[in-house]
Structure 1
Amino acid sequence: MPFDGRILSGVSVLTAVVEAGSFVKAAELIGLTDSGVSRSISRLEARLGVRLLDRTTRSVTLTDEGRRFYEEAKPHLDAIEDAAASASGAASAVRGRLRVDIDPFFLPLVLAGRLGPFCERHPELSVEFVTRDHFGDLVADGIDLAIRFGQPRGASLISRLLVEAPILTVASPAYLGRYGKPAHPSDLTGHRCLQFIDPSSGRPFGWEFIRGTEAIEVPTTGPLTFTDPKSLLEECLAGTGIAQVIGWGVGARLTSGALIDLFPDWHGERFPLFVYHPSRQHPPAKVRAFIDYCDGIVRSL
């Protein structure tokens, strides 16, 4: 098929529809009428010979063919936008909208309450956080950046290790007063241990302890299993059970005595925090700025 400039124009409109979620919002975003957006999509579908979108009165979703086309075309459109931004000097301007797929632990327990300075530093940028227990498709979901615990995934994504977080095993004074304090990690087999689901496997995380060159895995059971780390922490504070948590989120509670670090000599286990973004040669300035800001926060903890 010879190059047709109308295809490029149609891809831009398709991208706006996918990211905005509707023809009406896409029209507002790119300065066309609703009917203009509809005609542009229809022309693109006719040129390609496939239906790209399923339309109902309430929603617009990509067809299977539309999703494949969008995922293959979007990176090229991004590259054109990056080239234009670089040529105009906008590559250094932090502005527009940034959509961040963010770990459900990292946002409420580490980042929340520390975002004010970033907003003040970049008043022309708005940030939208998407919090979910699974790692989604960044391109298909219109995500600029993801911050997630765990090993890298997705060959088409650029990944960067920010830091490795310490894992602590903690309990409240109320729990220890009722059930006693375990003297060694192996004693946890007889305790009520709150479980947390690993989203990549759908099963609870294993409990591992590392001290120098010594590493042990301890089978644990408990009355409650969570996918929400904040709820797990609240139940631990209430005395329901023992929990393994990322150390960053509990520093103040350890200092106040609301939680007790059960095994301070067994802090060798680390959980890596990665940042991901779609593969492209020059990440936008807004992506670089947010990565650098998060990097500064985690290194100060």
Structure 2
Amino acid sequence: MDLIQAMRLFVKISDSGSFTRAAELMQLSRPVASTTLQQLESHLGTRLLSRTTRHLELTGDGRSYYAHCQRLLADLDKTAQLFRESGLQGVLRIDVPTRMARSLIAPHLPAFFQRYPDIHIEMGMSDHVIDLLREGVDCVLRVGALHEDRLVSKRLGLLPQGNYASPAYIRQWGKPQSLAELSQHYMVGYSRSLSEQTACWEYMENGENLSLAMPARITVNNAESYLACGLAGLGLIQVPAYDAALYLASGELIEVLPQYQAAALPVSVLYPYQRHSSQRVQVFVAWMSGILAGELAAGCFIPAV
């Protein structure tokens, strides 16, 4: 038994909650993964996992061993990086919001690959929160509040937002001049899941983040559709200023109620603790920080301090 390989497998099983998924990530067959874990438990003289037909749970010894494995494997990976001729090679799996992928990241990737030609990126694009550990993703870019406590997070900055409507919407419904008038208007509804309640219209007043309910004729669950519906005149929308800049310049969107903007959205990158020493992750984080700080127009991004 390769003890280090067995430890990595145990951590993958614990993170993903699945023998099958862990075996796929480790490029092992399901029977080999099961045998390896049995050998590890026999070597340690204790049960690490409690198996049922529905799910897996760490035993008390399993939780303790998991913590030790995380620290040891992180140290081993860091040591390997120190002696490797170049850590800037291999696959980097990332997940990013759809609009940021299209508007910011993809246009700048040619320059990234010129600088790091031996890194291969697998990029998922989603507006939904994914489980990095279960999906085997190295890092994610998140916009909004964070709720994960098992991950390393780094705040990159803030994205100021604005309120916008299309010329077609304003021709039909007029341009709101006050918060009170919003009850006579429609917004494009947004919900991460269509089974959840639609988000309210948000605004800042006297430094306080407030919200009010508005009618919506359509509700969507991703940023691309949200912006498209706004451009089609289906309601008022709230999007980051960088995302509206081109449409403002072309006249496809018009800003409304600029004195009542929603709070700026935090932008963060998250990655598992064991990826902390990965040079691929670190260069991507640094590159993404430079894109946000250097490429967005003044007023469209507030770098973290």
User: What TM-score, normalized to structure 2?
Assistant: 0.76
Measure how far apart 1:36 and its partner are: 6.0
Q: Distance in 2 between matches of 1:258 and 1:138?
A: 37
Matching residue of 2:121: 127
Instruction: Output the aligned Cα RMSD.
Output: 3.6
Measure how far apart 1:208 and its partner are: 2.4
Query: In structure 1, which of residues 8, 11, 19 is the aligned counterpart of residue 7 of structure 2?
Result: 11
Distance 1:7 1:85, change over 3 A: closer
Q: Distance in 1 between matches of 2:281 and 2:119?
A: 11
Query: In structure 2, which of residues 161, 164, 169 is the aligned counterpart of residue 170 of structure 1?
Result: 164
Q: Which amino acid aligns with 1:115?
A: L
Measure how far apart 1:151 and its partner are: 2.4
Q: Distance in 1 between matches of 2:218 and 2:79?
A: 52
SS at structure 2 position matched to 1:143:
coil
Matching residue of 1:232: 226
Measure how far apart 1:264 and its partner are: 3.1
Matching residue of 1:107: 101
Q: Distance in 2 between matches of 1:22 and 1:280?
A: 16
Q: Distance in 1 between matches of 2:250 and 2:167?
A: 11
Alignment of 1:2-151 (within 5 A): 6-13=2-9, 21=21, 26-27=26-27, 39-44=35-40, 47=43, 49=47, 63-65=56-58, 72=67, 75-76=70-71, 78-89=73-84, 93-151=87-145
Distance 1:196 1:78, change over 3 A: farther
Q: Which amino acid aligns with 2:74?
A: A
Matching of residue 273 in structure 1 with residue 267 in structure 2:
yes
Consecutive unaligned residues in structure 1, runs of 5 or more: 56-60
Q: Distance in 1 between matches of 2:102 and 2:237?
A: 17
Matching residue of 1:158: 152
Q: Distance in 2 between matches of 1:279 and 1:255?
A: 42
**Does the 8 Å contact 1:210/1:266 carry over to 2?**
yes
Matching residue of 1:295: 289
Q: Distance in 1 between matches of 2:263 and 2:30?
A: 54
Distance 1:27 1:135, change over 3 A: closer
Distance 1:23 1:52, change over 3 A: farther
Q: Which amino acid aligns with 1:79?
A: A
State the identity as a percent: 24
Is the deviation greater in 190-199 or in 73-82? Answer: 73-82
Q: Structure 1, residues 145-170: CA drift from partner, whole Å, max 9, x if none?
A: 12111223223322221111111111
SS at structure 1 position matched to 2:270:
strand
Distance 1:222 1:94, change over 3 A: same
Matching residue of 2:299: none
Measure how far apart 1:124 and its partner are: 1.0
Q: Which amino acid aligns with 1:141?
A: E
User: What TM-score, normalized to structure 1?
Assistant: 0.77
Q: Which amino acid aligns with 1:256?
A: S
Consecutive unaligned residues in structure 2, runs of 5 or more: 297-305
**Does the 8 Å contact 1:193/1:243 carry over to 2?**
yes
Q: Which amino acid aligns with 1:279?
A: Y
Matching of residue 195 in structure 1 with residue 193 in structure 2:
no
